[in-house]
Structure 1
Amino acid sequence: MVERAPRRGRPRDPGVDEAVLTAAVELLAEAGFARLTMDHVAARAGVGKASLYLRWPNKVALVAEAIQHRSGVVPDVPDTGSLPGDMRTFLRALLRTFGTASQAMAAVMGEVGSHPELRKAWRQGLAAALTDCVREIVERALARGELPATSDVELLSMLPITLVQHWRLEHGQAPDDATVERIVSQFYTPY
């Protein structure tokens, strides 16, 4: 999580944090990281710019926390009884849940190489939460014998999230149901 200075004065309003983090995600999706400004976030959130700078010292810190904030909003891990069913259900729920956030995360992906704080937030926040969900699906499939015991759990756990993000970067939109089906049938359907 992003380190913050000790607080003084009256307690912070958590509603302001929520409004600002939501505004940051929306603006990232609309304008991208380079064009995101603290002024725009403050205006969208309906707060003064000073409120932002009391909470986050700069845009990178704000975006890093917005990424962490989204990690708490991942879809439930389904248990349909089969690897293809679980993966299909999870990916469709992910794409429904992360409409705007998915665009925002794609905007951030191009910046993680230049900003270690963003890279850390991405790896420890949303990417970790989503990968953990997929790992649970893969491990259950291994236990049911749907995958070979020699399967690379780490790669199989990272693959669908990476494919979805790459698809968004390449095509400018989230994968549709047909593409989800291609991912599932190519990588998550036992022989």
Structure 2
Amino acid sequence: MMRGVMNRKVPKEILDLFEKYMDNKVRHLNRKDAIHMLRAEFGLDEEQASTMFDTFDKDKNGQMSIWEFQQFYVCMGTQPSNPHSSAQEVVQKFKDIDADGSGKIDVNEAKEGLKTLKTATGRDLDPKEIEFFIETTADDDGQIDLGAFTNLLYRLKLYNAPPPPKDVKLKNPKKD
């Protein structure tokens, strides 16, 4: 019965994967079980899985709900036939941009790295857009971790706006 109710809102492949790690039909995984799932199913190492858990545990209750997992799954761009490949592509792209290997992307690395990424329409990002995406993704210390980077890639997959006019400044909604 519970599965039928959940099935109407969560795609079957997401639900099936999550259910492999659930106990007693509880729709949450504790941190340890969620990290185990992220490692086993997506090929993440302990630190990467922990960062992803922290990023997608939106209510910060120490558990990953089916809804939080669905957000991770959608952002990761996972293909049901091979979830490892999508996760590893994101991790590899992150590592490529993290030139100093610190585990975080700083502003300079982000500026260079975002020049190599494309919008949903396949065009290069304008320098104003690069600044905007860095400002809206970086933490208070100006750093981007793997979880924030995953969200950034998802935003870029959806971003299909034309380049901004030369005389327009893009506003950061986090600062308004």
Task: Report if TM-score (shorter chain) is over 0.5.
Answer: no
Give the alignment's TM-score, normalised by structure 2.
0.24
Structure with the higher fraction of residues in helix conformation: 1
- Larger gyration radius, structure 1 or structure 2: 1
Structure possessing the higher relative contact order (Cα contacts under 8 Å, 6 or more residues apart): 1
